[in-house]
Amino acid sequence: MTTVAPTTVKLRLPPGSGSLILLAIVAVAAAAGPRLAPYDPLATSVSAALQPPSASHWFGTDALGRDILSRVLTAARLDLAIAAAAVGLSFGIGTAAGITAGYAGGWSDRLIGHVTDMIMAFPLFVLAMGIVAAAGDTVANIVYATAIINIPTYVRVGRAEVLIRRDAPFVQSARLAGNGTFRLLLAHVFPNVLPPLVVQASLNMGYAILNAAGLSFIGLGVRPPTPEWGIMVADGASYIVSGEWWVWLFPGLALAGTVFVFNLAGDGLRDFLDPHRRH
Amino acid sequence: MTGSLLTVEQLSVSIATRRGSVAAVRDVSFAVEAGEVVGMVGESGSGKSVTALAVMGILPPAAQITNGRILFLGRELDPIRRRHGQREGLAIIFQNPRAALNPIRPVGRQIVDALRAHAPLSSQQAAAYATELLQRVRVGEPERRFWSYPFELSGGMCQRVMIAIALACRPRLLVADEPTTGLDVTTQKVILDLLAELTAAEGLATILITHDLALAGERCARLVVMQGGRTIECGHTADVLTRPREAYTRALLAATPRAPGKGPASADFATDSSDAHRSKLPLLEIRGLQRHFRLRQTGGLFAQTWARFRRTGAPRPVSVLRAVDDIDLTIGEGESVGLVGESGSGKSTLAGLVVRLIDPTAGRIVFRGNEIGTIPARKFTRSQFRHDIQMVFQDPSGSLDPRLTAFAAISEPIRLLGRLDRARPLAAVVGNLAEMVGLPATLLTRLPHQLSGGEKARVGIARAIALRPSLLVLDEPTAALDVRVQDVVLDLLARLRRDFSMTFLFISHDLAVVRQICDRVLVMRAGKIVDGGASEHLLTAPHHPYTRDLVAAIPRLPSEHRDESAGAAELFRGVFSG
């Protein structure tokens, strides 16, 4: 039953490649941001304060006359770095904890479960605020706070995925082939639970960026004058009423766009990583 | 246009896939008369289910009827019957009854839903009628079962409920799509008896779709044999089975395992190892082996806490499932022992205990004179006997890591447990193994989902024999395979056993298959071995009443044609061994 009727041949990119291209653009902007910036993001100029977008200042200038385009581009690196570090940390810790809980069960499962339940009992943003407020507002502490509030997601996804596969025939068959517990988890269980976790990580990137920007927005995160999207939106907020829309709009758009791209990439990755779609 | 109940004329169905459209059914024509049972046989992918779905008007959106028409009661049916009443008189039951039932609704209510969708009944009337239907499909205590959820019922019970739902529509034609696949052989008999009885009592016509030729032969008046979306052969059951016209039908017949009974005794595998191979040394000795599972306490967290809170001294009794209950068993070197029993009899648990994936609760497992039951399953990986006890799993798809290529899967045990040999590089060893199990070398780079069921089974076997184990446990290795592939795989296993003088513990629910490959058979029920003896003897003249029930329930082919078709079978086995 494999007669293939002649159909029009379409050029097909791998699924989800559109979002991955967008992701690459964001990554390039973050890497080369300071070099692309037309002005020094910290240079103030009272004469050029609060100018609307023009040919010389594409995104306009803020109250201190700093070029908003330069600041938006420069900020990309910091925001993405904070988010990536936080996601990396929570991915590593959360996945290891989740796989342990799911595979070992028993007391380790209960302990890990209770800790994640405790974290999730707090409103997460308030918890992050509390951690930064208590530990001091440094970039490292923002990373730790963002990582801690994201750990439960990976624990839960990892644990659930491992539970499905723990007694799967292929895991038992791997045991018979001579895999010890550690190798079994690393070589057979982990690669099979990775796709949902990677998708989760990509979706989480967007959330982590928002979280870092949110902390800065309320004055707990990165300190001015460092260019950072959250601070810039906070600066612009006071000009919404007076009509200087460009001050908050462009950093806000950069923030929203980046979050959107990461969410889109998460969906793209899901398709891309599914072995059944590879041919 | 005769008075046939159902006429299918030159039906063609194509299914759109990512790689273009595939013709699933091509130019199929057949008719079903009122009150008749027609069997539709063929292997997976032969188009039998798609034909059934087309008749029912429930083709998936990707499928399209490209040609032909379906007449029911003289009326032409729309390809897609969305309007109410268009499916009147037609009912279908599926392979996996538990999946076809709504898991969170009591089964009685689901019958009521079907009843009220077809007739304006009050809920009391419908409930009363539903209870009556449950009684008619022989569900004991219908008033109580009415409120049961599907997970509380056995597979056979669920299929009865499905039949009750089908009957609720007062059908003229019932399509039964592999209704007993996955059920135990005794349950299968009960369900098919029930269907036959209902068919006779209600004047219902039935299309019985199955891959089991013996079963179709026993139950159907006429047969339609399908292959590759076409009807290959069509005719009265006796004619098709005793004088098959087509080579394909003959090949199918030859591959169907012979049920014990009047048929000629199979001399090919069973005799060669009985006494000659059996040395004095037992390879595996099991004494008083037990494995108990503690069942979860009933009630949720609150109920349990409340119970603990109110506790009046005596602890709550913990219910224990004795999956393996005091088993003694000795397998001699080179022997092939079959273990049969129905689902839930504990045979898979016993397999897990023997290959040391499960720890025993009590008892001894002695392998080559060494007690191995005391080594925890987690640590057995490092035991010197790990490479010597291997297993072929039931589900060829599920037992392969979806992310490992066939090469990686086969080479893994060699890399981890074997001794690396400079003279023979890994690639050569794996290539040799692939050749031994008949897996083309070009398929070694493929991932499991790119292989067919038979190819995956071969990878699983190659992996299990990679270290030349002396004891190979086979847990229903062919249960998921088509009959012809099963035949080829059984041949392969018999040959490998001869060539490497391996010892087999062969677990199956299919007595006919066990008979083909084992010298000795043990019958297991509720965790105990209830009967045992030489295969031929046990299966032709069973003594124990349970064994007798099991043997009686096996569908049989009419026995005469076997010999004349055997020659042709040999011829075509080569052609189809894929």
Q: Cα–chain-centroid distance for residue B59?
A: 25
At B418 the pLDDT is 78
State residue B302's pLDDT score: 63
Q: What is the CATH number of the domain that holds B117?
A: 3.40.50.300
Report pLDDT for B577. 43
Quick one: closest CA in B to A104, which residue? B378
Residues above pLDDT 70, as percent of chain B: 85
pLDDT of the residue at B569? 44
Asked whether residue B99 carries a pLDDT value surpassing 50, the answer given is: yes
Residues B246 and B389 in one domain: no
Nearest Cα residue to B207 out of B3, B41, B2, B9: B41
pLDDT at B252: 85
* Same domain as B220, residue B288: no
Say whether both B239 and B288 belong to one domain.
Answer: no
If one compares A34 and B245, the residue with the highest pLDDT of the two is B245
Binning pLDDT at 50, 70 and 90, where does residue B273 land? very low
> For the ranges A100-114, B469-483, B498-512, B552-566, which has the lowest average pLDDT?
B552-566
Convert the pLDDT of each residue in B445-459 to its tens digit.
Answer: 888 888 888 889 899
Residue of A96, A97, A199, A78 lying closest to A140 (CA atoms): A78
pTM exceeding the 0.80 threshold for the entire prediction: no
**pLDDT the model gives residue A146:** 92
Output the CA–CA distances (angstroms, integers) from residue A244 to A62, A218, B532, in the order listed: 9, 21, 91
Nearest to B400 among A5, A170, A175 (CB): A170
Q: Which domains does chain A have, with CATH numbers?
A: 21-37+65-277 (1.10.3720.10)
Does the pLDDT of residue B385 top 60, yes or no?
Answer: yes
| CA distance, residue B414 to nearest chain A CA (Å) | 8
* Number of domains comprising chain B: 2
Residue B55 has pLDDT above 80, yes or no: yes
Residue closest to A77 by CA, chosen among A119, A41, A117: A41
Query: Does residue A98 carry a pLDDT above 90?
Result: yes
d(Cα B358, Cα A188) in Å, to the nearest integer? Answer: 19
User: Considering the domain boundaries, does residue B299 fall inside one?
Assistant: no
Omega prior to B264 cis, within 30 of 0 = no
Does residue B87 register a pLDDT over 70? no
One domain for residues B251 and B324:
no
Q: Does A9 touch chain B (CB under 8 A)?
A: no
What are the chain B neighbours of A7 within 8 Å (beta carbons)? 20-21
Distance CA B121, CA B114 (A): 11
Q: Buried (b) or exposed (e) across B549-570, using 16+ Cβ within 10 A?
A: ebbebbbbbeeebbeebeebbe
A182: Cβ–Cβ under 8 A, 6 or more apart, which residues? Answer: none
Nearest to A177 among B24, B46, B413 (CB): B413
Q: Do A181 and B378 count as a contact with CB atoms less than 8 A apart? A: yes
pLDDT tens track for A181-228 = 899 999 999 988 888 898 888 888 888 988 888 888 888 878 878 888
Query: Tell me: the pLDDT tens digits for B246-266?
Result: 888 888 888 887 665 443 444
Q: Do A170 and B399 touch (CB under 8 A)?
A: yes
Q: What's the pLDDT band for B574 if we cut at 50, 70, 90?
A: very low
B286 in the same domain as B226: no
Whether residue A256 is predicted with pLDDT greater than 80 in this model: the reply is yes
- What are the tens digits of pLDDT across the range B133-174? 888 888 888 888 888 888 888 888 888 898 888 888 788 899
**Are B464 and A176 within 8 A, CB to CB?**
yes
Q: How confident is the model at residue B244 (pLDDT cuts 50, 70, 90)?
A: confident
B413 with A278: Cβ contact below 8 A? no
| Within a domain: B508 | yes
Q: What is the CA radius of gyration of chain A?
A: 23
* pLDDT, mean of residues A79-100: 93
For residue B314, pLDDT beyond 70: no
- From the CA atom positions of chain B, what is the Rg in Å? 26
Residues B520 and B375 in one domain: yes
Assess if residue B576 is contained within a domain: no
Cα–Cα distances in angstroms (integers) from residue B441 to residues A67, B404, B427, B452, in the given order: 64, 16, 10, 15
Instruction: Say what the pLDDT of residue B563 is.
Output: 45
ipTM value, please give it: 0.75
Average model confidence (pLDDT) across chain B: 82
B337 and B214 belong to one structural domain = no
- For chain A, what percent of residues have pLDDT higher than 70? 92
Tokens of B371: 């007690």
- Looking at the fold, whether B59 and B174 belong to one and the same domain comes out as yes
Tokens for B227?
Answer: 């292959």
In this structure, the answer to whether residues B157 and B32 fall within a common structural domain is yes
Q: If pLDDT is split at 50, 70 and 90, which confidence band does B280 have?
A: low
| pLDDT value of position B473 | 94
How sure is the predictor about A171, in pLDDT bands with cuts at 50, 70 and 90? Answer: very high
C-alpha span between B219 and B210 (Å, rounded): 11
Convert the pLDDT of each residue in A39-70 to its tens digit: 788 877 778 777 788 878 788 888 788 888 88
Q: What is the distance in angstroms between the Cα of B167 and the nearest Cα belonging to chain A?
A: 34
Does B203 share its domain with B286? no
Q: Do B22 and A2 touch (CB under 8 A)?
A: yes
**Residue written as token pair 């209960």:** A110
pLDDT at B426 over 80: yes
- Whether residue B383 is found in the same domain as residue B248: no
Same domain, B433 and B361: yes
Decide if B520 contacts B335 (C-beta within 8 A): yes
Q: Does A8 touch chain B (CB under 8 A)?
A: no
Q: Whole domain around residue B241: which residue ranges? A: 6-255
* The pLDDT of residue A7: 47
Averaged pLDDT for residues B212-232:
88
- What's the pLDDT band for A276 if we cut at 50, 70, 90? low
In which band, very low, low, confident or very high, does the pLDDT at A89 lie, cut at 50, 70 and 90? very high
Q: How confident is the model at residue B297 (pLDDT cuts 50, 70, 90)?
A: low
The C-alpha atoms of residue B156 and residue B188 are separated, in whole angstroms, by 8
Banded pLDDT at B299 (limits 50, 70, 90): low
